[in-house]
Chain A
Amino acid sequence: MTHANLLSPPSQIPPPTALALSQKAPLILSTSPTSSLPWPLSLLFSRETPESWTIHENLFLSALRTGDEASALTTLERLEARFGEHNERIVTLRGIYNEATAQGNADLEKVFDGYEKILREDATNMSIRKRRVAVLKALGRTSDAVTALTALLTNSPTDAEAWAEASELYASLAAWGQAIYCAEEVLLITPNAWSAHAHIATLHYLSSATNNTPNLVSLAMSLKHFCRAVELNDSYLRGYYGLKFVTSKLNALLSEASSTSLKRNTQDDDDVPVPSIETVKKLEELATSKLAGIVRQFKSGKKGWMGYDEAEIIAARELLDRDAKAVR
């Protein structure tokens, strides 16, 4: 299990970790980071560090997640006392608290109206705009959420986080074209993000998987982006997993196409060269050996290889086993 750390919370927080995180509340709330002395002395004897406020914020979020609203409120009051009620970030945290404590959709609508009011006063409050999208999503109004998000993106087109959210929202509606467009915008802002490359490759693969006839161009695009992901990160488990997965599909398709002597480059709008079968085979070999190496090192518990998620390792192992069976 990933250990619970409030300063830099893990990238995945399953319920047990969330519980462990919020159980730290009494300890952290028992001492105040700010000094209670009058003004000039409080500057000298304050024990606060930038980390204490990150910890408070994370504690607030995990307390809300586990339903510990009393601790969440205490933490929020501390943050408000320190940074003022009108700080953008604090206003957002207050909004999250209201969302969490809302009973039913009617209450949530009220929180939403509150956000509208804040935005009428200050339309540039980006985090409140993001909260609006989150509330719409929570209410199940995905298409409204998409509209709100596109409005946000029109005003702030360099927000990679918002583009990523838009990509996922479109993907959840199975609108692959739009999802890919948004993911490409993410790449324009963060061209070296290996996870963004893996994401766009997944989208390309899914867009071809949902069609009845597998689309060679989509698979080639997917292959290209998975290759870039592992080029940017030479131990990227998800990248190698995807590379192996896509190459095995492409392999089957290409050998089928060559046996029926079908011309590969018949697509007229085709600006993506479909790779040759030799290249695909070589890539598959590379991905297999890399995946096997990662799985082996993780299983042997070698120091310096324990950063992977266990579920991902298990999935990679299954993929390798399936492949080995097919060969036999």
Chain B
Amino acid sequence: MAVFGTALNGAGAVLLTHAVYSTHEHTATFASTPLPLDISLELLVSILLLSLGIVVSFAPLKPIQYAQWAGQLSREGRHGEGQYTREGEEMLSEGDPYAFLGLDGGIGGKGEGRRGFWDVKGKRREYEDWVRQGGKQ
């Protein structure tokens, strides 16, 4: 779709430039005669092509229904969008906005939500146990 959109935009821009130039040339040479029909048509076609191209090459729209939007977040998870910070960490897409409640791991789950109550001792113990067991994946 990206190539198609760019092609439409390119053709539209060329036609628009040509139509504008033709208009200028026409008014410079025959100042008192009306604009020929082909120039007006070219202008309209170029605008049509440009509008189509812009719509076609637009980024996919976000769902406007809450359930669908939330469903998309769950289905796709957080994924990188090709941008990195200076430290080399990838910027991820939008995640679950309620992750801060920490209720997604079930009762007694080990989620990372609720940062204010982060149990540093428990997490350290978990890690030490894992190392003692040989550090399997």
Contact = CB atoms under 8 A, between A and B. Distances in A.
A61 B128 CA distance: 15
A265 interface: no
A15 B130 contact: yes
Describe A's contact surface by its main secondary structure. helix
A306 B76 contact: yes
A307 B90 contact: no
Contacts of B88: 24, 27
A131 B116 CA distance: 7
A164 B99 contact: no
Interface string A91-127: 0000010011000000010000000000000000011
Contact of B112 (A11, A55, A96, A196): A11
A206 B104 CA distance: 16
Contact of A18 (B111, B117, B127): B127
A308 B119 CA distance: 25
A4 to B, nearest CB: 9
Contact of A307 (B77, B120, B123): B77
Nearest to A203: B107
Contact of B77 (A186, A234, A308): A308
Nearest to B63: A234
Most chain A CB neighbours (cut-off 10 Å) among B77, B90, B104: B104
A55 B70 contact: no
Nearest to A149: B117
A83 interface: no
B51 to A, nearest CB: 29
A234 B63 CA distance: 12
A177 to B, nearest CB: 15
Nearest to A138: B121
Interface string A183-200: 000100010111110110
Interface string A20-54: 00001001100001000000000000010101100
Most chain A CB neighbours (cut-off 10 Å) among B95, B111, B121, B122: B121
B98 A196 contact: yes
A192 B98 CA distance: 9
B110 to A, nearest CB: 6
Contact of B67 (A27, A126, A231, A306): A231
A164 B127 contact: no
Nearest to B65: A234
Contacts of A33: 86
Nearest to B101: A164
Interface in B76-131: 76-79, 85-92, 95-96, 98-108, 110-114, 116-124, 126-128, 130-131
A234 B98 contact: no
Interface stretch (A235-243, A248-256, A281-289, A320-328): A235-243
B33 interface: no
Interface in A204-227: 206
Most chain B CB neighbours (cut-off 10 Å) among A8, A131, A203: A8
Contacts of B127: 15, 18-19, 65-67
B91 to A, nearest CB: 7
B73 interface: yes
Contact of A134 (B68, B73, B110, B117): B117
Contact of B117 (A65, A67, A161): A161
* 7 closest Cβ pairs, A-B complex: A307-B77, A235-B71, A15-B130, A233-B70, A130-B116, A234-B71, A193-B98
Interface of B: 66-68, 70-79, 85-92, 95-96, 98-108, 110-114, 116-124, 126-128, 130-131, 135, 137
19 contacts: A11-B95, A13-B112, A15-B127, A15-B131, A28-B87, A99-B121, A131-B116, A138-B119, A164-B103, A172-B107, A172-B108, A186-B101, A190-B101, A232-B70, A234-B70, A236-B74, A306-B77, A307-B73, A307-B78
